[in-house]
Structure 1
């Protein structure tokens, strides 16, 4: 099948790039399965296993599609209508304008919050894009992974939580001085900021961490920080919002909204790194993701709806409870 994946960002992702990592892994896995892949992506994108066409956001997408495209998979704002069979993956908490019933979400909870049913968990190319961790290393302190500038990611809560345990916190995805969303300066010396890190830095830091602190205060659509941390053997200590009860089983972490209770449980926690690593490998691989999407592709090609109705209007993004 000739499949065009539409992504408005630069490929491949070199540092953060959550959605871009997923799109890249999907394209690579579909290529391995024998499909012909085109990335319609930001100018400057490059790829050695797929055709790349620069995306011009000022032009209709349909005019930019290769003539041999049989199915279009959007991972960016839907720019329809288009005549070719297509579907849209919604990665965030706002659906694309004009979205039809042919939408796929990134967790069961994510789909249900929009009145839909179709979802595929994000997957990553573990062997191709991520180095195998050293699971025998001593682990000290905890880590936070995500866009620290977003208040709903609750870096402050992670800092308070690590402080209850008297532990160091490594922040991957933020800076000590942040001017992007109002002046924020973190003075706590036991908190170390590493900025937007690449895969090598993630490996070095997370494979030495006792766990991911992820006390988000919104309904997390998926949260790539979860599988990435598990891959490197780190369990998850998070809030029970959005997809997190689906992703975090009792074998690899626990959830709560009260920092004191979480800290008490963390102090007694024993999650073997090998167990966390194997769970990530078995559950969040790109092959599983690609097979799930192929099933939806077949439905679209048969003219079947993926959901009973288009996504309903999203509720306002609220700040959910967290007790420091």
Structure 2
């Protein structure tokens, strides 16, 4: 599939950047699975495995989506694009109407807060982290 992932901010992130890390990891895994991925992120962003386009505004994000994309996966962008779209929400949507069916949430409680039952946990590369009883 031709998949476009869009996230605000710098990828890879420096220091804090949970959403950006999630999108970077997701991009890597999708490319490994054979998908053609385009990443839209803030100026200065890069990824060694895919094309990266830069955007800051909703208009720039919309214009950066390749015309031949099959699906757009938005992370923290609240922008409409003329393609099938999945929106992953990690916060709360107080200023938005009830989310449409193409919204994904990150926990059961998070979905419940938005009147939904379905969710997908954030994934992360467990082999990149040392598990320990304390930080």
After TM superposition, the runs of 4+ consecutive aligned structure 1 residues lying more than 4 A away are: none
CA deviations on 1:234-289 (whole Å, 9 max, x unpaired) are 269xxxxxxxxxxxxxxxxxxxxxxxxxxxxxxxxxxxxxxxxxxxxxxxxxxxxx
Match of 1:23 in 2: 23
If the length of structure 2 is used for normalisation, what is the TM-score? 0.88
State yes or no: 1:35 paired with 2:35. yes
Match of 1:111 in 2: 111
CA deviations on 1:5-48 (whole Å, 9 max, x unpaired) are 11011001221211111111111111111111111100100110
Q: Structure 1 residues 89 and 96, CA, compared in 2 at 3 Å: closer, same or farther?
A: farther
How far apart are the structure 1 equivalents of 2:2 and 2:124?
22
Match of 2:64 in 1: 64
Q: Structure 1 residues 121 and 59, CA, compared in 2 at 3 Å: closer, same or farther?
A: same
Q: Structure 1 residues 96 and 123, CA, compared in 2 at 3 Å: closer, same or farther?
A: farther
How far apart are the structure 2 equivalents of 1:87 and 1:110?
16
More strand by share: 2
Matches within 5 A, 1:195-214: none
CA deviations on 1:62-88 (whole Å, 9 max, x unpaired) are 3221122110000013211x2210010
State yes or no: 1:2 paired with 2:2. yes
Q: Number of residue pairs matched?
A: 134
CA apart distance, 1:94 = 2.8
How far apart are the structure 1 equivalents of 2:55 and 2:95?
18
State yes or no: 1:89 paired with 2:83. no
CA apart distance, 1:108 = 1.0
Structure 2 residue matching 1:59: 3-state secondary structure: helix
Instruction: Compute the RMSD of aligned alpha carbons.
Output: 2.1
Matches within 5 A, 1:265-276: none
Matches within 5 A, 1:126-165: 126-127=126-127, 130=128, 133=130
If the length of structure 1 is used for normalisation, what is the TM-score? 0.39
Structure number, greater radius of gyration: 1
How far apart are the structure 2 equivalents of 1:15 and 1:124?
16
- Check the 8 A contact 2:11/2:42 in 1, yes or no: yes
